[in-house]
Each structure stands twice: as structure tokens, then as C-alpha cells.
Chain A
Amino acid sequence: MKIMVAIKRVIDYAVKIRVKPDKSGVVTQNVKMSMNPFCEIALEEALRIRESGLASEVVAVTMGPSQCLDTLRTGLAMGADRGIHVDSTSALHPLHVAKILRNLVQIEKPSLIILGKQAIDDDCNQTGQMVAGLLNWPQGTFASKVVLDKEKEEVTVDREVDDGIETVQLKLPAVITTDLRLNQPRYATLPNIMKAKSKPIKKFTPQELNVEIKSDLEIVEVTEPPKRKAGVMVSSVDELIEKLKNEAKVI
């Protein structure tokens, strides 16, 4: 059984983000980039399923310019068997990614696609759901536990929803998107980094996959959230009430 994992190269989670002065986006020059944390969790889950013997191969897919190969190599160093790089310099929105993934699925034919629930740069939380829709496959999103039953060809997913945990059972092939509490991703150890150098990476372009990157979304403006105002010390309860009434206008 083959598992396909989609990984994205984003600005590192621990970096302080700054908005470009022309408000067209966020500063990405000279800023540390790494794998999206949810994608790491997705890859880790796929590797664990393979290590438990239920899967035979884990394929990591990434899309974007040539720098994305670094992230792909990290994925291979963690343990993925093969890599696929879809080379594109234009901005890829979730629907494009979903369409490319759908066409890749028709070539690779995996039984399970695992993605991170969202990317930390755009926070869209759309790609997994769109892929499932385009393929007409069942989906288990926000997974906090994944249990695969190979004989029955089913996967049981515990989903973290607002009300608590919802358990769904999906027939394979299925799409799963991972949430934070699913697992703790492993480190890339040197022996694996060494092995990763010889693992194959196949290259595609969106044109080869018959996907047109036409954007019907335009980012108009990016601004920083308003800065937190400093607190004010009040000297008496009466002053507090007065400020709540007149300045904050909450009573």
C-alpha cells in the first residue's frame, strides 16, 4: 500500500514575521524557511504506518520553486522513500495544489493521502478538503489519532472538533489531514541524511500534469494586526468604573 504525503516549504514557525513596507506581502528575504509543522506531523504519521508494516512506500510531494528541494530532502532524510517535486515559480493556491495532487494520484495511485491540516503561512485549511472533493474520496480532517485496518481497508480517525473528539471510519482510499496532537515528528539523523542522497526525486511541471495555474484570487493588502496598547494603572475603583464606562464603553 502506498501513502502520499504533501509537504510545504514555509517561513519557519519560530521566526518573527514582518510585513513588507509596500504591504504586498510578508518579508521572505533572508528569512529561515523550513517544513510546515503540520506537514512534518503528516510525514511522521505516514512513516509510522509504514514501520508498523501496513504500508510499503511513502512518497513525499512538494510544489514550488527549486528551493523547495531542500524541504523535500528533509522529508527524505526523515524517512520517505521517494520524492516528487512539482516545479512552479508562480504562487500556488489551495485549489491549484489540490488539482495537481489529484492528477498525481492518478499516476501514483496511493491508497492514503496525508496532509497537514493547514500551512502556517496562509492558514487556509482548504487543500486536504479540496483534494478529497476532487477525488471523491472520504476525508478525516484534524486527525489526532489514526488507526489503519489493512484487511478491512478502513481507517479510523479521531477528529479534533470544537465540541470535542469525533471518531469517523473511512474506507480506503482516503484523505487525512493532521492536527498538532497526532504525534511528535522525529529528528533527521545522519545515517538517514546519508541515505536520502540516493533516494530518487521525480520532477513534474503543472503543464505536464494538465493543470492551469490561473489565479482567481488576488491578495490586495497585507497589514500587521494592531499593536497591543499599554495597560493603564488606575488609582481607585471609581476611576476604573469611570474608564470602563467612558473609554472602553463596556458598561
Chain B
Amino acid sequence: MVNRNCRATLRLLTLINRQGHPHPPLSSSPSGHISHSYLILPFSIAFVFLTVLCFYSGTGIDACWKQLQRNNVHGEHKIVSFFSPLASSLKTRQWGVKIQSRCYGSASVLVQRNPKFSKLNDEDVRYFEGILGAKNVIQDDEKLITANTDWMRKYKGSSKLLLQPRTTDQVSEILKYCNFRCLAVVPQGGNTGLVGGSVPVFDEVVVSLSAMSKIISFDKVSGILVCEAGCILENIISFLDSEGFIMPLDLGAKGSCQIGGNVSTNAGGLRLLRYGSLHGNVLGIEAVLADGTVLDMLKTLRKDNTGYDLKHLFIGSEGSLGIVTKVSILTPPKLSSVNVAFLACKDYSSCQKLLQEARRKLGEILSAFEFLDSNAMNLVLNHLEGARNPLPTSLHNFYVLIETTGSDESSDKQKLEAFLLGSMENELISDGALAQDINQASSFWLLREGIPEALMRAGAVYKYDLSIPVEKMYNLVEEMRSRLGNDANVVGYGHLGDGNLHLNVSTPQYDDKILSQIEPFVYEWTSKHHGSISAEHGLGLMKANKIFYSKSPETVKVMTSIKKLLDPNHILNPYKVLPCSSIS
């Protein structure tokens, strides 16, 4: 079956087998092994083809082409890990072959380094040292590896320089210089993005906002907070907690993500149902454009109808129109009565009806409505320490987490209890538990917020974040399950209240065959139902060429002209967000 004559293929086979299966196999049936061996054939053919291609064209044009995973050559094997899509299929280390272009697990398009961008030289480094001081210009290998790799360890850049400005003026100087020299730049915050938008694709200079982490001012009367973009969300939350306020957004990544990144990606999170999106809560932004111009739109006014409201361009543009350096945000007061209930439903239509009832009966106190299916629950219970099943007596198909936030403890609790008991009588829920104190509430939230981490630990994961009309949402999960069968564990969970499904396909390793079953089916299905292929994660690198599934060509054309206007040299976060074809 397999061509064993080619030396390259032989090496490939030995390496794949040596990788072994340290993670528990997806299914205990022998079918797991069978599917693995007939993967080798397409891999080997593809690889032989690429090798041949490279030998023909590789050596001559090396200036522009990227040597794949150069960072991994010297002993960083642990970083490569099982999550790296390339490790198992293309062994460049062994052959020292220069692969033409960058490929990555979740897309079928190869990106090429734009030859227009200059390469970094010593003079540039010295100039940056002059602006920032030598301490904030980082070329240390270890720190660069962290900056070059995304949270899922799926995307890896090869940037040689990490800059840490401390003031907006420094950011402005950096960008002015980079624009002049035509050096590509990647703005980076907490690096917790899930679509590869926060790490370099090739050798872009990483501008990290982590050093700009001051809280500038807080108005206790209006609840308006002004802070620098590098403030970590959790730190802001604890600061506000002592003042009696909360942030309008909350996500699982709060321990590492920074507010500048949240704003630049228009992060959604767990409280969007109650407090709305960042477009409504952010009152002002200070941003630096590609040519170094500082746009000070940092107002702290609820209402300001003077001209075009440009800050909305930056909210959600994922760093491709400008670097956000300061944010002013409206924070809601912290209400004393928070109640969390963890419920079990027997099927998806009960979850939907429960949502309708919750909106009606809990109304103004409803602050979060999340759902997860049984696969997600099992994953969390198996892979996360400290996760406890509140409803251990039987297995349920769906779980719903409801949170209410209000000002009157006893009336809220009464309302919630009445709603839950009524739903139980109407058989909308089959079982449930109500948290009696803050610790129990956190343990319920852990079950929902811990799913991404549990997925990471279970092996390789293909993540999709889709906005779909609520009635049809779970159909996609079921269709995906029937498509993939036993090859993968399809997990569905998400913000049911917002119509946002997080579809995750968990496999022991990255596998192009499974990927071809998922994409473009997922995008086409979503497009057919007039949904969004990226509800809150953004486009980044992963979906840069997929925008047409959710936006019309005319709209994308206008977006491209705005990008050209604000960043004519395309130095800000290149290769991402908008399709490569539309940008010259």
C-alpha cells in the first residue's frame, strides 16, 4: 500500500510511528489504528511531491521563502509537541529542506511572505534601543518563542524582535519608523487569541503592550474607567471589585488577556447577554495609526454625536487598522446578589424553550445563559482537576448554566427558585443544582469556563466559533458528528443566550483528512443559514480568506479601502483579517 522505496517516505513512516500515542486513543476500538495507517498514503504522496518541488525551486529563491519551524531545530522539541500540525507530517529538521510556504493545521491555504516588507537589520534594532532603552528591546530566544507561539500552540511565527513600549509616544515612534522602513508589525496583548491573530506569521516585529498596564483614572460616580491597553482583565476586575463595580465583559482567559486585545477583537464573553458588546461599553479609545499618528478619541462621555464615531473601526479590527493604547470603558455597578444554577435538559429543544422562559421569567436579572453537551461535560470531568459533577446521579444530554445578578438577594433567589421549580414541573429540565455560596458558583462556572483547557489537554482540537439562529444551532453539531463518526469527538457548547455556538472537534492529533471533512462544510453550512463564521473569536490568520462566507464582496471592498487609507503600506498585522487576494 505504501511506497516504501522512497527514502523520504521511510523516514516519514518511522517518525510517525515513533510519535506514538501517548494520549488515550479517541475510541478504544481498533478502528483508530486503521484510520491512522491509511493516512500515511496521502501524506507520503503529498510530501514526496513537495520535496521534489522544493529541490527544484527552493534553493534559488530562499530570501523570500520561509524555512519551516526554524526555531525548533535546536532542541526545542518540547515546544513542538503533539499539538503542532507539522510535527507529525513534515519533518524538515531531518532533511533540512526548505519548504516554500507556511502551512498550518486549520486552513488549506498557503501564505507567502510579502516581499515588499523589509528585513530587520542591526541598525533598526539600535534605533529601537534608542527610543525604548535596551531593556525593552528583546531579542532573547526564550522570550521570543513565547511571543511567537499562540495559546493553542498551533501557530508559530519567526519574529526576531519583541518591543515593549511604555508610553503612547514610544508606540508612535515605533510605528513611524516601521512605516518608513516598511517593517511589518504585530501588536500583541495577552496572546490568548484563538485564530492566530496575535502572533507573527513570518518575521514581523512584535509590539507588546504588556508594559503599558496602568489604570489611569476611575470615576466612582459614573463608573467610567480609563486605563492603558496592557492591563490584564483580571487585574482590572479586582481593582473594580474593591470600588464596587464590575467589568461588562468576562471570559475564561481573563487571567492573561489584556483589555487592549479585548477591545481590538471586540471580545464577547459570558456577560454579553446582560451588558451588551464592547461597541456599547467602550466610550473612548486612544489608538496609534500605522504612520505613527496618535488618534486621541479617549472621551469619557456617554453621548457624543460629533462627526463619525471612528473608535468603532478599531473595536474588532484585530490590530489591522491601528494599535489601541488606551481605553475608556463604562463599568456597571457590582450587584450583591449573584445566583448560579446548573441544570440538565434531555434534548436541545428543551434548552431553547428554557431560554425563552428564562428571558420572560427572569427578565432583568438574567446575566448569563450558557449550554454544554454531554461530550463537553465528560471532557471537563476527565481532564480538569477539581471539576465536580453537580448532578452525578445520572447522565444527561445537555447542561445549562444560568446566572442571575440583581440587587436583592432574597427576591432574586425566590424568583430563580420559582422559575426553576416551574421548569422542572413542565419537564423543561430533568435535574438541577443551585449554588448556595460563591465557592459553589465558581465550581459551576469552572465546568463551563474550563472546556477550552480540557480540550487542549485531550489532544488536538479544531475550533469553530459560529453565530447561528438558535433553533438550528445544534443541528450542525449533530451533522458534524455523523460526518466524522468515530474519528473524532465533536463537542458543542457556547453562549446559547447570544446564539453563539463553539463547535470543537477533538482528535488525538491534527489530521488533514479530518480537516477536509470539517472545512469548508462548516463554513458553507453556516453561510447557508445566514450565520457568522466567527461570532466572537475574530478572523485572525485562521479565517483570513473566509470572510466571504459571511460578508458580501461589496462590503469587503469598502473594508479594503479603509485599510488602504489607514495603513497604506499594510504593515499592521499583515496576512490577517482581510483576504490576501484583496490586498495587493
Chain A residues in the interface with B (C-beta under 8 A): 12-16, 30-35, 37, 40, 67, 70, 74, 77, 184, 187-191, 193-194
Q: Is B420 at the interface (CB under 8 A from chain A)?
A: yes
Instruction: Report yes or no: A35 in contact with B336, Cβ–Cβ below 8 A.
Output: no
- Counting chain A CB atoms within 10 Å of each CB, the highest count among B338, B410, B437 belongs to B437
B residues near A30, Cβ cutoff 8 Å: 336
Which of the residues A14, A184, A189 comes within 8 Å of B437, measured between beta carbons? A14
Instruction: Report yes or no: A70 in contact with B437, Cβ–Cβ below 8 A.
Output: no
Which of the residues A12, A70, A190 comes within 8 Å of B438, measured between beta carbons? A12
A residues near B421, Cβ cutoff 8 Å: 190, 193-194
Instruction: Report yes or no: B434 in contact with A193, Cβ–Cβ below 8 A.
Output: yes
In the complex formed, the residue of A with least CB distance to B391 is A189
Q: How far is the CA of A188 from the CA of B190 in the complex (A)?
A: 38
Q: Is B432 at the interface (CB under 8 A from chain A)?
A: yes
Instruction: Report yes or no: B439 in contact with A14, Cβ–Cβ below 8 A.
Output: yes
Instruction: Report yes or no: A188 in contact with B436, Cβ–Cβ below 8 A.
Output: yes
A residues near B552, Cβ cutoff 8 Å: none
In the complex formed, the residue of B with least CB distance to A189 is B433
B311-353 residues with Cβ-Cβ distance < 8 A to A are 336-338, 342-343
In the complex formed, the residue of A with least CB distance to B337 is A32
Instruction: Report yes or no: B431 in contact with A74, Cβ–Cβ below 8 A.
Output: no
Name the interface size band of chain B.
Answer: 20 to 34
Chain B residues in the interface with A (C-beta under 8 A): 241-242, 336-338, 342-343, 388, 390-391, 409-410, 413, 417, 420-421, 424, 429, 431-440, 442
A residues near B429, Cβ cutoff 8 Å: 190
Instruction: Report yes or no: B440 in contact with A15, Cβ–Cβ below 8 A.
Output: no
In the complex formed, the residue of B with least CB distance to A15 is B438
Measured CB to CB, the closest approach of chain B to A189, in angstroms, equals 5
Q: How far is the CA of A16 from the CA of B337 in the complex (A)?
A: 15
User: Given A14-B437, A34-B437, A35-B437: A190 and B442 within 8 A (CB)?
Assistant: no
A residues near B241, Cβ cutoff 8 Å: 16
A residues near B437, Cβ cutoff 8 Å: 12-14, 32, 34-35, 37
B residues near A184, Cβ cutoff 8 Å: 388
Which of the residues B413, B417, B435, B438 comes within 8 Å of A13, measured between beta carbons? B438
Q: How far is the CA of A201 from the CA of B435 in the complex (A)?
A: 22
Measured CB to CB, the closest approach of chain A to B343, in angstroms, equals 8
Q: How far is the CA of A87 from the CA of B429 in the complex (A)?
A: 37
Q: How far is the CA of A16 from the CA of B243 in the complex (A)?
A: 11
24 inter-chain pairs at a CB distance below 8 angstroms, sorted by A residue, are: A12-B437, A12-B438, A13-B437, A15-B438, A16-B242, A30-B336, A31-B336, A32-B336, A32-B337, A32-B409, A34-B438, A35-B436, A40-B436, A70-B409, A187-B390, A187-B433, A187-B436, A187-B440, A188-B433, A189-B431, A190-B420, A190-B431, A191-B424, A194-B421
Q: How far is the CA of A13 from the CA of B432 in the complex (A)?
A: 23
User: Given A16-B242, A35-B437: A191 and B409 within 8 A (CB)?
Assistant: no
Instruction: Report yes or no: A190 in contact with B409, Cβ–Cβ below 8 A.
Output: no
In the complex formed, the residue of A with least CB distance to B389 is A187
> Could you tell me the dominant secondary structure of chain A's interface residues?
mixed
Q: How far is the CA of A67 from the CA of B436 in the complex (A)?
A: 15
User: Given A12-B438, A15-B438: A193 and B417 within 8 A (CB)?
Assistant: yes
B residues near A194, Cβ cutoff 8 Å: 421, 424
Measured CB to CB, the closest approach of chain B to A158, in angstroms, equals 24
In the complex formed, the residue of B with least CB distance to A70 is B410
Instruction: Report yes or no: B431 in contact with A188, Cβ–Cβ below 8 A.
Output: no
Instruction: Report yes or no: B431 in contact with A191, Cβ–Cβ below 8 A.
Output: yes
5 smallest A-B Cβ distances: which pairs? A14-B438, A34-B437, A187-B433, A190-B432, A30-B336
A residues near B435, Cβ cutoff 8 Å: 187
Known: A16-B241, A191-B431. 17 other contacts (CB 8 A): A13-B437, A13-B438, A14-B438, A16-B242, A32-B336, A32-B337, A37-B439, A67-B410, A70-B409, A189-B434, A190-B343, A190-B420, A190-B424, A190-B432, A190-B433, A190-B434, A194-B421
A residues near B438, Cβ cutoff 8 Å: 12-15, 32, 34
Q: How far is the CA of A34 from the CA of B338 in the complex (A)?
A: 12
Measured CB to CB, the closest approach of chain B to A48, in angstroms, equals 15
- Counting chain A CB atoms within 10 Å of each CB, the highest count among B409, B436, B439 belongs to B436
Q: How far is the CA of A40 from the CA of B429 in the complex (A)?
A: 27
In the complex formed, the residue of A with least CB distance to B341 is A190
Q: How far is the CA of A13 from the CA of B434 in the complex (A)?
A: 17
A residues near B391, Cβ cutoff 8 Å: 189
A residues near B420, Cβ cutoff 8 Å: 190, 193
Instruction: Report yes or no: A189 in contact with B338, Cβ–Cβ below 8 A.
Output: no
Q: How far is the CA of A98 from the CA of B245 in the complex (A)?
A: 40
Q: How far is the CA of A76 from the CA of B67 in the complex (A)?
A: 66
User: Given A13-B438, A13-B439, A190-B420: A32 and B338 within 8 A (CB)?
Assistant: yes
A residues near B343, Cβ cutoff 8 Å: 190
B residues near A189, Cβ cutoff 8 Å: 390-391, 431-434
A residues near B433, Cβ cutoff 8 Å: 187-190
Measured CB to CB, the closest approach of chain B to A188, in angstroms, equals 6
Q: How far is the CA of A155 from the CA of B409 in the complex (A)?
A: 40
Measured CB to CB, the closest approach of chain A to B271, in angstroms, equals 18
- Counting chain B CB atoms within 10 Å of each CB, the highest count among A32, A184, A187 belongs to A187
Q: How far is the CA of A74 from the CA of B440 in the complex (A)?
A: 13
In the complex formed, the residue of B with least CB distance to A14 is B438
B residues near A70, Cβ cutoff 8 Å: 409-410, 413
Q: How far is the CA of A30 from the CA of B334 in the complex (A)?
A: 10
In the complex formed, the residue of A with least CB distance to B241 is A16
A residues near B432, Cβ cutoff 8 Å: 189-190
A residues near B338, Cβ cutoff 8 Å: 32
Q: How far is the CA of A191 from the CA of B435 in the complex (A)?
A: 14
Instruction: Report yes or no: A74 in contact with B436, Cβ–Cβ below 8 A.
Output: yes
